[in-house]
């Protein structure tokens, strides 16, 4: 990586276009001056043009020389890139579970563009995807369990409501822009207040976090070392008018903010310093806002396409290695519904727990889900079928007896 950084530095310092642009500008200036002269004194035109020839030729040479450095810099950089990222073949697409779902992939791309705020790219993409609908080409032997799901068809049939989503995300980006760039909490607070009940039901702290930051901003407005108490007094008035609904759920936090009033002249040495000197406060409320906004739309805070592509990039080296081993040993990947090897992903990529049946020691699948018996013990569907044979049976882990129809499917 050092090698690459070195080349980037070189490109930035020496092999950039700034000198070239300057030199070309000089040539343009020469020509413009000459044109003005010819226009003003037409009789001197032949003389002016003759005088121009030498300098213009020279300036072209200089410009070409400037470009040489850029070409050689780019050449070296791309060589360094090739050296670092060797061209490796991708695993074959023999078991491509998505080959039968091209519309689903298009939908994921459209959603990704919309939620990234790339509205015009998204609408062009949706238009073109609708004009040229893709044709599924299932790879043989790959299961296609969800081919008929309605949510796959909504992009093709035009029921994918991109306009509405676009409006919603436009609102989200507007509020985020106000938060991050303008340090203006008002639109975010108004948004959260309108949805106060829903947010509270979700256990979200967003509304309070926003109002707390507003309090801090008012408090420190004018600088914390200021000797006049205007800021703290404005914060006090804000708390009195706005903190009422928070008294119960955030009693402790509200008390601490009020306690800070006593230290208004030396907050930095007070026990409440952390509320007032938090550099990441704005980014924290922005992240929290994005998470809540997306979840009220029924979406995750991060784009699923981004997560899938990143997880895929992490998995690729392992899968390539596996493919080589399979080739050498002439074996095949037979478990199409799950990966043949474990792929270690970072903790933020763990979305749900997995269940291993304590009887069969097998990991549960869609076809063989975990089932909970009335006694509370959980085993896989297949183990349940084998043990019960359709009649009342005893739980393998406690004296509890039950009928298999009383078992409930567990969703992880």
Instruction: Please give the C-alpha separations between residue 273 and each of 216, 263, 269, in angstroms, as whole numbers.
Output: 11, 10, 7
Residue 355 burial (CB count, 10 A): 18
Report the residue from 400, 403, 406, 410 that binds Zn ion according to the rule CB under 5 A: 400
The residue within the footprint of Zn ion, chosen from 311, 395, 402, 404 (CB under 5 A), is 395
Q: Find the shortest distance in angstroms from Cβ 405 to Zn ion.
A: 16
- Compute how many residues bind Zn ion; rule: CB under 5 A: 6
Is 393:404 a contact under the CB 8 Å cutoff? Answer: yes
Give me the least distance between CB of 377 and Zn ion, in Å please.
Answer: 3
- In the bound state with Zn ion, the residue whose beta carbon lies nearer, of 34 and 375, is 375
- 239/371 with CB nearer Zn ion: 371
Binding mask 345-384 for Zn ion (x = CB under 5 A): ------------------------------x-x-------
State in angstroms the smallest separation of the CB of 365 from Zn ion. 23
CB of 367 to Zn ion, least distance (A): 23
Nearer to Zn ion, 220 or 381 (CB): 381
| Closest distance to Zn ion from the beta carbon of 410 (Å) | 14
Tell me the C-alpha distance between 246 and 8, whole Å. 52
Nearer to Zn ion, 272 or 397 (CB): 397
Closest residue to Zn ion, judged by C-beta, is 395
On whether the CB atoms of residues 360 and 382 are closer than 8 A, the answer is yes
Per the CB < 8 A criterion, the answer to whether 178 and 282 are in contact is: no
For residues 138 and 94, give the distance between their C-alpha atoms in angstroms, rounded to a whole number: 10
In the bound state with Zn ion, the residue whose beta carbon lies nearer, of 3 and 406, is 406
What is the rounded CA–CA span in Å between residue 351 and residue 354? 10
Q: Which of 268, 354, 398, 412 binds Zn ion (CB under 5 A)?
A: 398
397 binds Zn ion (CB under 5 A): yes
CA proximity to 289, closest of 184, 191, 143, 361 = 191
Q: Which is nearer to Zn ion, 177 or 394 (CB)?
A: 394
* Strand partners of residue 378: 372
Partnered with residue 371 across adjacent β-strands are: 379, 409
Give the closest residue to 294 by CA, choosing from 111, 121, 172.
172
Nearer to Zn ion, 84 or 392 (CB): 392
Start-to-end C-alpha separation, the chain: 40
Q: Can you say whether the dihedral through the CA atoms of 90, 95, 98, 99 is positive or negative?
A: positive
The span of 118-126, 169-177, 335-343, 390-398 binding Zn ion (CB under 5 A) equals 390-398
Quote the least distance from Cβ 411 to Zn ion, whole Å.
Answer: 20
The length of the chain, given as a count of residues? 412
> Closest separation between CB of residue 392 and Zn ion, Å?
13
Residue with tokens 């903790």: 347
Binding site for Zn ion (CB under 5 A): 375, 377, 395, 397-398, 400
């Amino acid at each position: 990586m050092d090698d690459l950084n070195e080349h980037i530095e070189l490109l930035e310092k020496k092999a950039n276009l700034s000198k070239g642009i300057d030199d070309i500008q000089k040539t343009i200036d020469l020509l413009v001056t000459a044109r003005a002269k010819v226009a003003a004194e037409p009789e001197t035109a032949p003389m002016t043009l003759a005088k121009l020839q030498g300098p213009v030729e020279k300036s072209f040479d200089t410009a070409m020389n400037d470009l040489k450095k850029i070409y050689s810099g780019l050449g070296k950089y791309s060589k360094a890139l090739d050296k670092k990222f060797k061209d490796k073949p991708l695993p074959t697409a023999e078991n491509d579970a998505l080959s039968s779902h091209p519309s689903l992939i298009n939908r994921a791309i459209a959603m990704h563009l919309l939620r990234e705020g790339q509205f015009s790219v998204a609408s062009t993409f949706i238009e073109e995807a609708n004009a040229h609908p893709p044709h599924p080409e299932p790879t043989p032997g790959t299961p296609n369990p969800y081919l008929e799901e309605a949510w796959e068809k909504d992009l093709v049939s035009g029921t994918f409501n991109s306009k509405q989503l676009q409006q919603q995300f436009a609102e989200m980006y507007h509020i985020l822009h106000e938060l991050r760039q303008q340090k203006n909490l008002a639109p975010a607070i108004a948004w959260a207040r309108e949805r106060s009940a829903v947010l509270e039901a979700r256990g979200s702290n967003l509304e309070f976090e926003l109002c707390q930051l507003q309090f801090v901003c008012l408090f420190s407005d004018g600088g914390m070392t200021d000797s006049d108490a205007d800021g703290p007094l404005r914060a006090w008035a804000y708390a009195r008018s706005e903190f009422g609904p928070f008294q119960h759920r955030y009693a402790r936090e509200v008390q601490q903010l009020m306690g800070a009033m006593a230290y208004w002249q030396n907050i930095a040495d007070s026990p409440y310093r952390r509320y007032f000197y938090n550099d990441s406060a704005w980014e924290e409320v922005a992240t929290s806002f994005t998470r809540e906004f997306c979840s009220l739309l029924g979406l995750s805070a991060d784009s699923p396409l981004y997560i899938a592509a990143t997880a895929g990039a992490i998995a690729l080296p392992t899968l390539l290695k596996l493919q080589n081993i399979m080739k050498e040993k002439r074996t095949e990947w037979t478990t199409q519904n799950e990966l043949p090897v474990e792929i270690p992903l970072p903790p933020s990529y763990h979305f749900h727990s997995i269940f291993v049946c304590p009887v069969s020691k097998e990991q549960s699948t869609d076809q063989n889900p975990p089932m909970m018996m009335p006694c509370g013990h959980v085993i896989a569907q297949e183990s349940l079928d084998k043990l019960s044979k359709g009649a009342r049976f005893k739980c393998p882990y406690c004296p509890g007896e039950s009928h298999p129809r009383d078992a409930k499917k567990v969703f992880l």
